[in-house]
Amino acid sequence: MSWFEENKQTLIALVEGIIVFLILFGLIVAAATFYDFSQTNIPVLTFILALVCAVFLAKSVYDIEIDKVRIKKKGEQLANKLVASSQQLFLEVYNNSPVAYLIVGEYGDIVSANTAAARLFGVSTEHLVKRDLFSFMETANEEHQSILKHKFTEGITVSDEEVKISREQDFSWTTFSIFQFSSTDGKKLTLVTFVDITKQKEIDIAKSEFVSLASHQLRTPISGMRWSAELLLMDGVESLTKQQKRYIDRLLSSIQRMSGLVDDFLQVSRFELGTRVVKEESVVLRDLFDDVVAEQVEKISVKHLHINKEYDDSITQISTDQALLRMIVTNLYVNAVKYSRVGGDVTLAYRKNGEELIIEVRDTGMGIPLGEQPRVFSKIFRASNAVREVPDGTGLGLYIVQKAVQTLQGRVTFLSAENMGTTFTVVIPTSL
């Protein structure tokens, strides 16, 4: 508030006093002009008048000042009451929230913790103070832990990262979020929240276990069906009519699709349960890539696709999990073929870059609409153009690719333009 605004009332009273004085003085002068006031002592009268005005003025200024002090005091009392009640509210919410809250200092030292945090960590709130936040947290791997620490140090906001909190006897799954702020004395503090997701996690695990079991059990009857159909074709092909042969071919292709689907379910559940054991071995790249191409020859000839191979001969072998690498290349190549239009180009390339292998699968097909690209690696995602033009698909392939690439400690990216084509790039280390 400016000085003028603060003293507005006093100034108004002052101006009012001067105006009253001038009016009265004017009236006396006017009266002196009309009547004979030769006996009256004008200067004394003026002085008395000024004195009366000054007393009135002083009185109103005094009243105003007293009012001001009273209002200020009342305002301060109200503000203090408000601050106290919001502090009380904040403490109530902070302490009794079912979400675990911690306030953490600049170096990861716990400054305060609420009751839910104490329950989650299995330690009293007093015993949590000064302990290192990260000593309580377990992540999927060390890399994840160091990324979280780095974000914490740099003051980067973290939302809903999955972390495990171990207690003496048991543990909880949580989602971890951090948000940095400055205290009133300028200290850098972080609000950390943990939301317990153990129940959801248990349900997810139970679902994945069921899918894994069901897929596993389905494999045997599917193999039995395939063998029987193949035997029918091999043994009795002469006795079959054209129509019957066509039915058996259709049966075989459905069995093939069903088997692919069951395999995908099994892979997804294995990744989600974390039961996939990585087996490192020497892999001859050319053989693996050629095998993948050979498996799709029929589809390539039906669509009249041009296949280009760009193999870098300076690298012949790498040390990795062969099954996972094959899964990655197969899924990307099958997609490139599936989403290509007749007469399109598909390129399969690999090259060495330092200690990394770069794999590229390019096509000139239908591409992925820009607005849908952020969801490409989500489970059961299928782009709108793919749903329209290629009804056959589960939306699990790229999810599996991403999980497999992560398991091989690599990364996968893509560039795509609708009706122009798509390039998927996978980078994995040449040895695990």
CB of 364 to ligand ADP, least distance (A): 10
Instruction: Choose one: 124-132, 185-193, 322-330, 335-343; the region binding ligand ADP (CB under 6 A).
Output: 335-343
CB closer to ligand ADP out of 110 and 327? 327
Q: Give the residue carrying structure tokens 């069951």.
A: 262
In terms of Cβ atoms closer than 10 Å to its own Cβ (0-12, 13-18, 19+), residue 80 is exposed
The nearer residue to ligand ADP, 320 or 331, going by C-beta atoms, is 331
Secondary structure tally for the chain: helices H, strands E: 13, 13
Q: How far is the CB of 367 from ligand ADP (least distance, A)?
A: 5
End-to-end CA separation in angstroms for the chain: 67
Q: Which two tokens stand for residue 302?
A: 């039906």
Strand partners, 173: 164
- Residue 153: closest CA among 173, 175, 134: 134
Shortest Cβ contact with ligand ADP: which residue? 397
For ligand ADP, the closer of residues 327 and 398 by Cβ is 398
> Least CB distance from residue 315 to ligand ADP, whole Å?
24
- Least separation in angstroms between residue 290's CB and ligand ADP is 20
Say what angle helices 42-96 and 8-34 make with each other, to 10 degrees: 160
Choosing from 283, 336, 404, 408, the residue that interacts with ligand ADP (CB under 6 A) is 336
Is the Cβ of residue 395 or residue 429 nearer to ligand ADP in the bound state?
395
Q: Measured from the CB of residue 127, what is the shortest distance to ligand ADP in angstroms?
A: 48
The distance of closest approach from Cβ of residue 398 to ligand ADP in the complex, given in angstroms and rounded to an integer, is: 4
CA dihedral 316, 319, 322, 324 (to 10 degrees): -120
Question: What number of chain residues touch ligand ADP (CB under 6 A)?
Answer: 22
Q: Report how far residue 90's alpha carbon sits from residue 84's, in angstroms, rounded to the nearest whole number.
A: 10
Helix (H) or strand (E) holding 68: helix 42-96
Q: Looking at 139, 208, 335, 407, which residue binds ligand ADP (CB under 6 A)?
A: 335
Please say which residue, 148 or 376, places its beta carbon nearer to ligand ADP.
376
- What is the secondary structure of 178-228 as a DSSP string? EEEEE-TTS-EEEEEEEEE-HHHHHHHHHHHHHHHHHHHHHHHHHHHHHHH
Which CB atom, from 116 or from 405, has the smaller least distance to ligand ADP? 405
- For 431, residues 6+ apart whose C-beta sits below 8 A from its C-beta are 280, 318, 319, 320, 355
For residue 264, the minimal CB distance to ligand ADP (Å) is 8
Bridging pattern class, strands 317-320 and 356-363:
unpaired
Closer residue to ligand ADP (CB): 64 or 334: 334
How near is the Cβ of 372 to ligand ADP at its closest, in Å?
8
Binding segment for ligand ADP (CB under 6 A), chosen from 43-51, 192-200, 229-237, 331-339, is 331-339
Q: Which stretch binds ligand ADP (CB under 6 A): 87-95, 186-194, 297-305, 332-340?
A: 332-340
With respect to ligand ADP, which residue has the nearer C-beta, 43 or 391? 391
Pick out residues in 359-418 that bind ligand ADP (CB under 6 A).
363, 365-368, 376, 381-383, 386, 393-399
List the beta bridge partners of residue 319: 282, 431
Whether the Cβ atoms of residue 342 and residue 303 lie closer than 8 Å to each other: yes
Asked if 344 is part of the footprint of ligand ADP (rule: CB under 6 A), the reply reads no
Which residues contact ligand ADP by CB under 6 A? 331, 335-336, 339, 363, 365-368, 376, 381-383, 386, 393-399, 422
